[in-house]
Amino acid sequence: MTGNEQQERIFSSVTTPLGDELKWRWEDKMSALLAEFSWEKKERILKQLRQLFSDEWNKKSIKKAPKALKEELGQLAQLNKEQLVFTRPATENSPALAMIWWPWGHGATYSMRIKVLNINYSAEDIANSQASFISKLARHFKTS
């Protein structure tokens, strides 16, 4: 299997369940597969994403994400109020993936990007990150 075939198989594990109505294109700048759609599809797509990805991050929860995940996402981890990042760790058949959910400012259009991650993380990494975040908060309040 060539690199392109493997990448298509990995992306199709997400794009196929989302349906044929979305038109995907490659975006070199982000090294991601991109689709844009109108607001009427929002609820159906969100429901599907929550089934396809084990982890959902928003503006508040991304602070508790594993450090390696935040570093890999870079600026994509700096979320606004309505933006989301869905992730799932690698399996023996697929690398770790991220789905970046971007509502446009006017609220009528959304875009999504599927990105293959170069890192992996586990439920244990998430638990450790959250424990670390909580202990940092506790230290902060003790010194305040």
**What local confidence, expressed as pLDDT, does residue 16 receive?**
94
**What local confidence, expressed as pLDDT, does residue 142 receive?**
62
Q: Which amino acid is at 3?
A: G
pLDDT for 27-54, tens place per residue? 998 889 999 999 999 999 999 999 999 9
Q: Are 45 and 24 in contact (CB under 8 A)?
A: no
Q: What is the pTM of this model?
A: 0.82
Average pLDDT, the chain: 85
